[in-house]
Structure 1
Amino acid sequence: MLKTLLYTTALVGLSNPLSANETNDYQFDGPYVTHDQSATLPQRTAYWICNSKLMSSQISEHTLKRPENCGQLPEPSLSEEIKQVMPDSYSGVKKVVALSDVHGQYDILIELLKNQKIIDADNNWAFGDGHMVMTGDMFDRGDQVNEVLWFMYKLDRQAKAAGGMLHLLMGNHEQMVLGGDLRYVHERYELASKLLDRSNDALYGEDTEIGQWLRSKNTLVKINDVLYMHGGISSEWLERQLTIAQANELFRANIGRPKAELKQDELLSFLFYGNGPTWYRGYFKDSFSEAELDKILGYFDVKHITVGHTSQKQVLGLFDNKIIAIDSSIKLGEQGELLLIHDGKLTRGLYDGSRQAL
């Protein structure tokens, strides 16, 4: 509650984001890491917002060091390995954890993962050779988006080192921000845009570390007998006879293009909007039938489809758990849940660390 009051107070004073008299978290932001390929020797620069002032440093090693008196901003270790395009189908995975729609709620995310023993007391990967699936929507609404992004970046590297995997799937809000639709960007990030002279989408452009990392990711992944994505698979997908690999390639190749351009292409318009896998909400409508669902499951040879996007009060199973909804309203900043699958057993991981069968 105290944190909520502090953030509310901060929002009131945000009309002048450059004011040095405000002593709130919005004076600190970053790092934003850019790549300059035009130089004789490619250079990487880290930009930080410290006490409402822009600071920068050249990066010669992989680990970033934040400037002095710059709050508790992330100090990431950079990795080229996690920007490699990974497979979108896996079998023989013994344990999986999945969650969705964090929307900048870093503190809730950390508490949930700690309580469920996915990370340790120091916020490091503790899930061994397990796979973690984040089905999109880290961006927008909340005021700790960069903290979430750099934390997931770190987990991506640590999971691979432990023999596990992080699957960071693109949601509609990743696509919106990278494509320049900034309607839901939190006011905190106005300061970085002003000081860096970049719109919010450009802060995650193709010349940035986070932008390159995000653009390497899949939008759908199949693990064992479960298919994961942000919104859902509609019957229109079956009519188009698409494969997961084809869709992921098209998403990677076109993420960041303006909406008007995507809408001009029939296939891209379907994938990025409407009944596509990042926007579809049909599973939660009365008109959707189990017979229709069974055709979709059969097409992909899976027993379950796991989605975010459509908010629930908890991790929820529909149609005898053939559909698993994992948007547990973390975005509200109060609590959240996650899905655990261990040797095929489906379990709700509650915010307090307890677990219940789905």
Structure 2
Amino acid sequence: MPLDSALKAASLCLAGLLPLQVLAVQAQTEQETKAVTQASTNSGINDGPYLFLNPKADMADWICEGEHKQTRVDQGKLSRPEHCGKLPEPNLNPQAKEVLADSYQGVDKIVALSDVHGQYEVLLQLLRRHKIIDQDNNWAFGKGHMVMTGDMFDRGPQVNEVLWFMYKLDKQAKAAGGQLHLLMGNHEQMVMRGDLRYVNDKYQTVSKLLDRPYDALYGQDSELGQWLRSKHTIVKINDTLFLHGGISQEWVDRGLTLARANSLYRENIDKSKAELKQDELLNFLFFGNGPTWYRGYFKPDFDTQELANILDYFKVKRIVVGHTSQTRVLGLFDNRVLAIDSSIKKGLSGELLLIEKDQLIRGQYDGSQTPL
């Protein structure tokens, strides 16, 4: 009950004009009205599944029309409850958390995209139109490699759908002789350490309904959390380096290897910002000029000799990066830097990069393809 209403009612009680019982009824009525209003606000929210592995992974959590529900995991299958929209019903993958190689040769075709930020429908449309997936959203890229250079989290309203979809493709690609490379971006790192500034409002409500902080929904005790923590931040495929932000001269000066950096990312991703900044190397890797934040290639004073040094250091022809938004897939410095953050996060359209043999192709949202 608002303070002024409560004081007025109390004064009437003291004057003998309003029984105390009526005051209690008024307070209860207002509480019930607030609860109904809140339930109505939440009624359109469907989300999940979330699978937590402690003490055992036998129940999946869902939000269905604003209510918390659970279903039993049946032989590795997560089936959604009734009246829960079209949420994913994933099959668990026992090999999902395997740490794979970070360098590959002899790959005939590659597709890369970035910064989906919870825009699930745009992602599906783009992949379907370029026949990376079929009409049932299953892997159709054969022995090809697909690279997602980070930032699936934050901003958009269907982050969990994106994650379970990529979880499924991870298994299907391997079965077909291909590979999915899911790279960690700065927004994955932010969520893991509890920096939730960019989380969509829907997930603030989901967090309350599940009674867990949002970052804990993807904690070390969750199926998706363990899967994400097994992934690399940088991979090298043929003569191309893939990552979220970019490689700076500082990396070269430090003499870092892919193996060491990827290992350090996995080992330290759950540390707080303060903890990371106490260590000079971790401060570089996770912030500033590090690979998930660097934007140097897009500055007017960028020194192309620095780029030559970096390419020579990794023995590659080009670097593919997301993180810095463009309106299309863009080639810089004679295609030695390929920018693939095509603003999918706006939820309107997007593009992807195709590499076939040594041909670079811009895959547009309508399914057309143009040499880069």
Common fold by TM > 0.5: yes
Structure 1 position 31 matched with structure 2 position 46:
no
Q: CA deviation at 1:227?
A: 0.2
What SS does structure 2 have at the residue aligned with 1:35?
A: coil
Q: CA deviation at 1:288?
A: 1.0
Structure 1 position 289 matched with structure 2 position 303:
yes
Contact 1:20–1:51 (8 Å) recurs in 2: no
What SS does structure 1 have at the residue aligned with 2:53?
A: strand
Moved over 6 A (4+): 15-18
Structure 1 position 333 matched with structure 2 position 347:
yes
Counterpart selection for 1:120 from 116, 119, 134: 134
Q: CA deviation at 1:63?
A: 1.1
Structure 2 letter corresponding to 1:282: G
Structure 2 letter corresponding to 1:124: N
What is the CA RMSD across the aligned residues, in angstroms? Answer: 1.5
Partners of 1:180 and 1:204 lie apart in 2 by: 10
Q: Bigger shift: 281-290 or 309-318?
A: 281-290
Partners of 2:216 and 2:334 lie apart in 1 by: 43
TM superposition score normalised by structure 1: 0.92
Q: CA deviation at 1:82?
A: 2.0
What do residues 164-219 of structure 1 show as CA deviations (whole Å, max 9, x unaligned)?
A: 00000000000000110000000001222112211110000000001000000000
Q: CA deviation at 1:344?
A: 1.3
Contact 1:17–1:190 (8 Å) recurs in 2: no
Equivalences for 1:3-82 in 2 at 5 Å?
19-22=38-41, 25=44, 27-37=45-55, 42-82=56-96
Q: CA deviation at 1:18?
A: 7.5
Q: CA deviation at 1:24?
A: 6.4
Partners of 1:103 and 1:354 lie apart in 2 by: 23
Contact 1:85–1:217 (8 Å) recurs in 2: yes
> What residue number does 1:209 align with?
223
Q: Which runs of 5+ in 2 are unaligned?
A: 1-33
Structure 2 letter corresponding to 1:82: A
Question: Is the alpha carbon distance of 1:88 and 1:107 closer, same or farther for their aligned partners in structure 2, counting shifts above 3 Å?
Answer: same
Contact 2:106–2:238 (8 Å) recurs in 1: yes
Structure 2 letter corresponding to 1:29: D
Whichever of the two has the greater Rg, that structure is 2
Q: CA deviation at 1:23?
A: 7.8
Contact 1:18–1:191 (8 Å) recurs in 2: no
> What residue number does 1:256 align with?
270
Structure 2 letter corresponding to 1:74: P
Structure 1 position 230 matched with structure 2 position 248:
no
Q: CA deviation at 1:223?
A: 0.1
Counterpart selection for 2:145 from 126, 131, 148: 131
Q: CA deviation at 1:142?
A: 0.4
> What residue number does 1:200 align with?
214
TM superposition score normalised by structure 2: 0.89
> What residue number does 2:174 align with?
160
Contact 1:101–1:327 (8 Å) recurs in 2: yes
Q: CA deviation at 1:22?
A: 4.3
Partners of 1:244 and 1:113 lie apart in 2 by: 28
Q: Figure out how many residues of one structure are paired with residues of the other and give that number.
A: 339
Structure 1 letter corresponding to 2:206: A
Counterpart selection for 2:261 from 241, 247, 270: 247
Structure 1 position 176 matched with structure 2 position 195:
no
Question: Is the alpha carbon distance of 1:340 and 1:69 closer, same or farther for their aligned partners in structure 2, counting shifts above 3 Å?
Answer: same
Structure 1 letter corresponding to 2:151: D
What do residues 263-300 of structure 1 show as CA deviations (whole Å, max 9, x unaligned)?
A: 11100000000000000000011111221101000000
Q: Which runs of 5+ in 1 are unaligned?
A: 1-14
Equivalences for 1:335-354 in 2 at 5 Å?
335-354=349-368
Partners of 2:65 and 2:349 lie apart in 1 by: 30
